[in-house]
Structure 1
Amino acid sequence: MATVYAAPAETRGATRIETGAQTGARTGAGAATESESGAATRAAAGPPRARTTAGEVRGAAGAGVLAFRGVPYAAPPVGPLRFASPRPPAPWTGVRDATAYGPPFCQPTGAGSEDALHANVWTPATTGSRPVLCYVHGGAWIAGSGNLPTFDGSWLAARTDAVVVTFNYRLGVFGFGLHEDLTDPETGSFSNWGLQDQAAAVQWVHDNAAAFGGDPGNITLVGTSAGGTSAHQLALLPATRRLIRRLVAISAAHQWEPALAFTAEDARGVHAALAARFATTVPGLREVPASELGAAWAELTAPRSKGRIVASGRAFRGPVRDGEWLPAFEHERPAPDLPVLSVHTRTEGAFFTGPSAPTPLAPPAPADEAELTSLVQDFLRYGLPGAAASLAERCVAVYREAALAEGRPTRPLDLWTEIWGDAFFRHPVLRTAERHARAGHSPSYVMEFAHPVRAPYFGTPHEATSKFLFGTHRLPEHVAEFGDGPAEREIAGILADLVGSFARTGVPASPGAPAWPRFSPGRPTALILGGHGAHAPAAVIGALGKQRQLRFWDDLGWGLAPA
């Protein structure tokens, strides 16, 4: 049975320290900005403090919120703790500075550090009992960080009167794999260390929510992309299910083999091959420099590498089915028995085919029909190793016919974008939502986020949602693509309102959106946010399109069984 570490008995249930910066709990989404007198009171009170289960921390006061950054939620996973279950952070005496982010976890670029298991907290005040939004970042389980400016929780916390938490977890070879020679003598676990970190972070949030003005009994787990998948997996894991009240899964890359996960056999093989490369044993990999180990793992497992040694995990390499932390993939298990808000973007694939597409996943855009068919055949082989050119031709034909019937563009790049996004995101997200709704265990809501980006970017790409949920579309690194006009600010406000009210009451609502019914497959019950034209409402209730395209993946037996 998987377990989440417990806080030391002598610090568990520690009381919070009031700062004198409290301005009273706001009563709902879209609460007013802090008054000048409130800001003066904060400044006079000095830096805010809170007492966590490991010790006291000192944060910083901002515009309407208090921020605590770089707070350890687990011990550094270095030396003998590399490939070990997370341990509680060592307690400290005195007051720990929490005004600056810690480093991100080790990135494919070589940046970052293993000593990165830190959480960041934004709260309107350290008194009260607010809903808690705990956010799991994405990045294909190999990159990303809760420290990124995109995920600055200041605006979201102030807008929703909630406590917002982000955190880092182990990535790549350090976070996701499996080998019995790495069995932790204390927990018996030998796999999925990044997923274990996520579970430990949720436990930490529960144990420390009250210190930051949050309600430990009202934690909503939110995640995007790989983070959305992880959040869904944590909601099904007994060790964390008891800590989570609601789930917001955004553009989740629901896993399946061989495309989106290693088999257990392949995961063992990767560790054995790494040990051979460094002339050591599998446990001896704990002593290999992190940069060298990460680079070797990337070479052996890259999607399009001649040195690739395994057949599975072809596109993404996240948690491995291990019988403990991931007993089975989401589509192989019952639907979660908690309220779920499921979000997908209208053009998920534009993230991978647009001007700022990430590498190495994104190949060049097809210039003509021949290149399109070749790319689609290679893509289909992520999940169907023997996919023939004739199957790729049929896929392209289905998408072209559907696009013509629906008034969608039919250039090779447009079709390629739709195929990529539907196969890896829209299809599994919607089929998972339909299965949940039909199970009837708990309420579910489905949103299509459709606000378009600006040229030369196109569509509504995967991960567009995070910029609007956090209100960071306005940042210099995002504004050219996402904009910061009245429409963008309205969309951001509505999205934050919906998530915030869902976390508070279980029912998503916003003054800028119509009443949102529970999702009923086949009926117009989805909320479509954005994409309706300059003079149309920002949010409407409607039916989800592209059903013909989704049925193609059903008929193909792609990924997961139909709902």
Structure 2
Amino acid sequence: MSTPVTSSPTTLTTGGQVRGTRVGAVHRYLGIPYAADPVGAARFRPPAKPDSWEGVRDCTAASPAPPQGPDFLLEGVVGVEPVATDEAGSLTVNVWTPARSGRRPVMVWIHGGGYIQGWGTQPWTDGARLAERQDVVVVSLNYRIGALGWLYVPELLGDDYADCANLGLQDQIAALAWVRDNIAHFGGDPESVTVFGESAGGGSAAMLLGAPAARPLLHRAILQSPPPRGVLDVQRAAAIAREYAGILRERAGDDAAEADVRTASPAQLLAAQEELVARHGLDLPLAPVVDGTVLPLPPIQALRNGSCAHIPVLAGTNEHEGRLFTALAPPVPPEAFDAALTAAFPSPERGARARAVYEAHEGSGDGAATARLGALITDQLFRAPTDALLEAQVAGGGRAWSYMFRWPTPVLGGVLGSAHTLDIPYVFDVLDTPGFSALLGDEPPRGLASAMSGAWAHFARHGRPSHELLPEWPEFEPSARPTMILDAAPRVAEDPLGERRKVWAE
């Protein structure tokens, strides 16, 4: 039987009235503007309040996503149609709320995508089931990504753009301000707001913890596979901005408009961005910047000094994060792993200890170098920084909980394991979405989805994760490092992958 779809009641916002769609027991409002269009003279400027409107705004269809390239995983593997993109109309929020009265915790999702991809209405982050089954209000948002959101333009455009760093982060803060001012009209509690995100979305949640303007707007934070150390200093960001501008000028030739970031077309900006990213690989050249204003300190330092002690944190990673970047590529030659290991551990003594650990953990034989490189990427980009974030939260007097997602997908002969992004459909409890079997297999453990979505919502409601399908979840503390292992049979383990962790902690 199909789910009945009708019109939602009209709801008031600070911009005017909106009408969405009722799908089953959930009201859905898509594409509500939280900021003015960042176009023309507003490109590379901080988000401004949108104009109000007369009458009732139709919010039954998603807005365009910010300009970006193709999404390999969703388009190439799952079979999702390419998303429509545009600078105009892209700074919007989406709301899913149960179609019954009440005042509920609010869960604000920040998408990932390496700070260069993603949007708020991806199929694996549909908030309807999470809202209905867990009785929460779910909000997702678009924010400026790539060069439009993270290029350090004060270096390029001068003093008049001094306040224009971290525009993607400023967009996220503006969206949280919209939640504070409007979410009560949708049945949400503005005094109970949890930000949660994965990958660059988890990194964004870390940056929000480090941003003074954001901290009053959020009350809990869930960081899934975050790169909290993926933040640039001003000198590095300025050098990358100059490099990007050089690429743009070289491509533009004699066309002055195409050579200027303020007037180049989105396609021209994306072409230059693609070349920049190709040069830097997994180093994330377009990322948040410790600019001294929006982000005064690296987030781990802000946690360590106690700035976020009042905000409970749930953070973790997947066991095989790095396999998303290695398992689908040609086999890695041993010298590629050697080079990555040397870059990560320049000291010969530490390098030798690290090599012994990765060789013991991943074994030998065909594919060993690929497996070792995947494990190295997992630890370097995700696990070790997340460990440091958890330690900093506790050192600063805050409360924290740790997890590791360990369920391995059987697709492609199991080479992906529990790769990067595989946890997302479990959190949103959308395992049965058409096309997801290509990523999750035919029989993913539905109980794990119930447990994860329920534990995430319990954390949003009470400030601690819990669910009837999980064992008791102890708080994180650095000596024993208790960690919830999220698998078909969840359990608590002390210091999982401890030998690998110790290599990075030296």
Q: Same fold (TM over 0.5)?
A: yes
CA contact (8 A) 1:126 1:211 kept: no
Q: 1:437 aligns with which of 378, 383, 394?
A: 394
- Classify the secondary structure of the residue corresponding to 2:192: strand
Stretch of structure 1 that moved more, 210-219 or 412-421: 412-421
2:447 maps to what in 1? 490
Classify the secondary structure of the residue corresponding to 2:132.
helix
Q: 2:457 and 2:231 mapped to 1: Cα distance?
A: 34
| CA pair 208-484 structure 1, distance change in 2 beyond 3 A | farther
Separation of aligned partners in 1, 2:194 and 2:48: 24
Aligned-residue sequence identity (percent) comes to 32
The aligned residue for residue 428 of structure 1 is 385
Secondary structure of the corresponding residue to residue 100 of structure 1: coil
Q: Quick check: 1:478 aligned with 2:436?
A: yes
Q: How far is the alpha carbon of 1:373 from its aligned partner?
A: 2.8
Counterparts of 1:234 and 1:408, CA distance in 2 = 44
Q: 1:23-76, CA deviations, whole angstroms, 9 ceiling, x for partnerless residues?
A: xxxxxxxxxxxxx9xx99x95xx5322111101111001122110011111111
Match of 2:427 in 1: 469
Matched residue, 1:101: 62
The yes-or-no answer on 1:67 pairing with 2:33 is no
8 Å contact kept, 1:522–1:543: no
Amino acid at match of 2:461: R
Equivalent residue number for residue 146 of structure 2: 172
Q: Structure 1 residue 394: deviation in Å?
A: 6.1
**Matched-pair contact (CA < 8 Å) for 2:230–2:284:** no
1:348 aligns with 2:321: yes
Q: Secondary structure at the match of 1:467?
A: helix
SS at match of 1:435: helix
Letter in 2 for 1:325: V
Distance 2:335 2:352 in 1: 6
Matching residue of 2:78: none
Alpha-carbon distance change, 226 to 292 in structure 1, aligned in 2, over 3 angstroms: same
Corresponding residue number in structure 2 for 1:273: 246
Stretch moving more, 163-172 or 346-355: 346-355
Shift of residue 549 of structure 1?
1.5
For residues 282-307 of structure 1, the C-alpha deviation after alignment (integer angstroms, 9 at most, x for no partner) is 994221111112212322342358xx
Partner of 1:50: 11
Match in the other structure for 1:130: 104
User: CA RMSD of the aligned region, Å?
Assistant: 3.0
Secondary structure at the aligned position of 1:120 is classed as strand
Q: What SS class does the counterpart of residue 119 from structure 1 fall into?
A: strand
Amino acid at match of 1:419: L
| Equivalent residue number for residue 365 of structure 1 | 331
Matching residue within 363, 377, 381 for 2:339 = 377
Distance 1:396 1:547 in 2: 15
Q: SS of the counterpart of 2:197?
A: strand
Deviation (angstroms), 1:224: 0.6
- Displacement after TM superposition at 1:274 (Å): 5.4
1:331 aligns with 2:300: yes
Tell me if the contact between 1:527 and 1:540 (Cα under 8 Å) persists in the aligned partners: yes
- Which one is further off, 134-143 or 505-514? 505-514
CA distance in 1, matches of 2:183, 2:342: 45
Equivalent residue letter for 1:521: P
Work out whether 1:530 is the aligned partner of 2:504: no
Q: TM-score, normalised by structure 2?
A: 0.87
Query: Per the alignment, do residues 152 and 401 of structure 1 end up closer, same or farther by CA in structure 2, a change over 3 Å counting?
Result: same
Ranges in structure 1 where 5+ consecutive residues have no aligned partner: 1-35, 306-312, 356-362, 532-537, 556-563
**CA 1:304 to 1:149, structure 2 compared with 1: closer, same or farther past 3 Å?**
same
Q: 1:501 offset after TM fit, Å?
A: 0.7
Q: State the AA in 2 paired with 1:365.
A: P
Quick check: 1:302 aligned with 2:302? Answer: no
User: In structure 2, what is the Cα distance between the partners aligned to 1:75 and 1:184?
Assistant: 23
Q: Which residue of 1 aligns with 2:409?
A: 453
* Aligned position for 1:518: 475
What's the CA shift string for 1:532-561, capped at 9, x where partnerless?
A: xxxxxx221221322221222233xxxxxx
* Distance (Å, rounded) in 1 between the aligned partners of 2:51 and 2:402: 42
Change (3 A) 1:491 1:254: same
Equivalent-residue separation in structure 2 for 1:430 and 1:388 (angstroms): 22
Equivalent residue of 2:108, what SS? strand
Give the number of equivalent residue pairs. 482
Contact 2:245 2:259 in 1 (8 A): no
Identify the range of structure 1 (284-293 vs 153-162) with the bigger mean alpha-carbon deviation. Answer: 284-293
Distance 1:170 1:412, change over 3 A: same
Q: CA deviation at 1:166?
A: 0.6
Q: Does 1:84 align with 2:45?
A: yes
- C-alpha distance 554-521 of structure 1, shift in aligned 2 (>3 A): closer
The structural deviation recorded for 1:473 is: 2.5
- Give the number of the structure whose residues are more often helix, by fraction: 2
Aligned with 1:397 (options 330, 353, 356): 356
Query: Does the aligned pair in 2 maintain the 1:451–1:530 contact within 8 Å?
Result: yes
TM-score by length of 1: 0.79
TM alignment of 1:194-205, pairs within 5 A: 194-205=168-179
Quick one: structure 1 residues 314 and 511, their matched pair in 2 at CA, closer, same or farther if it must change by over 3 Å? closer
2:502 equivalent among 516, 535, 551: 551
Match of 1:18 in 2: none
Cα separation, 1, equivalents of 2:359 and 2:92:
47
1:397 deviates by: 3.2
1:186-335 mapped onto 2 (5 Å cutoff) = 189-256=163-230, 263-270=236-243, 272-273=245-246, 276-277=249-250, 278=252, 280=256, 284-303=260-279, 314-335=283-304
Gap change, CA 1:409 and 1:391, over 3 Å in 2 = farther
Q: CA separation of 1:191/1:252 partners in 2, compared to 1, >3 Å: closer, same or farther?
A: same
C-alpha distance in 1 between matches for 2:402 and 2:212 = 25
Change (3 A) 1:211 1:274: farther
What corresponds to 1:25 in structure 2?
A: none
Deviations 1:63-119 (A, max 9, x none): 221100111111110100100000111100111111110111111249611121111
SS of the residue aligned with 1:500? helix
Shift of 1:276: 4.0
Counterpart amino acid of residue 94 in structure 1: G
Amino acid in the other structure paired with 1:374: A
Counterparts of 1:66 and 1:525, CA distance in 2 = 38
Q: 1:390 to 1:544 in 2, by over 3 A?
A: closer
